[in-house]
């Protein structure tokens, strides 16, 4: 039972890291040059400068990967996430070599 509790705690930890990353991304997107659309109390911000091509040029950050992994963890794929990290020679995301971020992100999105 102790190992199961540790797995649950690891899952919560991954979710918390993902949420922190999302909060940082959201906080960073509160800049000039954005449109705010309000519909029935819901606010959505869209950046005028963001295009499909610019995302390819933007380097992959640990926050990008953390957000995807948090989503996959919430979908019940925590075991697959751990296996993926092990494939890249790490126990946790912060131990992954930054050179491997693009490949890791791509594989995490496929989970």
pLDDT in tens, the chain (111 residues): 666 666 776 777 777 777 777 777 666 655 444 444 444 444 444 444 444 444 566 888 999 999 999 999 999 999 999 999 999 999 998 899 999 999 999 999 998
The range of the structural domain enclosing residue 76 comes to 2-110
How far is Cα of residue 12 from the mean position of the Cα atoms in its chain? 14
Task: Read off the DSSP letter of residue 75.
Answer: T
Cβ-contact 93, 85 below 8 angstroms: yes
> How much is the pLDDT for 35?
44
Token digits of residue 84 = 């993926």
Structurally, how many domains does the chain consist of? 1
**Dihedral sign (CA 22, 25, 28, 34):** negative
The pTM of the full predicted model, rounded to 2 decimals, is: 0.49
Q: For position 25, what pLDDT does the model report?
A: 67
Q: Per the structure block, which two tokens stand in for 89?
A: 């020679």
In angstroms, the Cα distances linking 10 to 23, 34, 55, 94 are: 20, 36, 30, 14
């Amino acid at each position: 039972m102790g190992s199961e509790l540790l797995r649950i705690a690891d899952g919560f930890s991954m979710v918390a890291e993902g949420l922190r990353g999302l909060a940082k991304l959201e906080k960073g997107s509160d800049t000039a040059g954005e449109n705010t659309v309000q519909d029935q109390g819901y606010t959505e911000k869209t950046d005028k400068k963001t295009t499909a091509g610019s995302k390819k040029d933007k380097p992959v950050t640990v926050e990008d990967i953390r957000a995807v992994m948090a989503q996959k963890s919430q979908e019940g794929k925590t075991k697959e996430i751990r296996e993926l990290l092990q494939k890249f020679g790490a126990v946790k995301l912060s131990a992954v070599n930054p050179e491997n971020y693009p490949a890791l992100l791509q594989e995490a999105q496929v989970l």
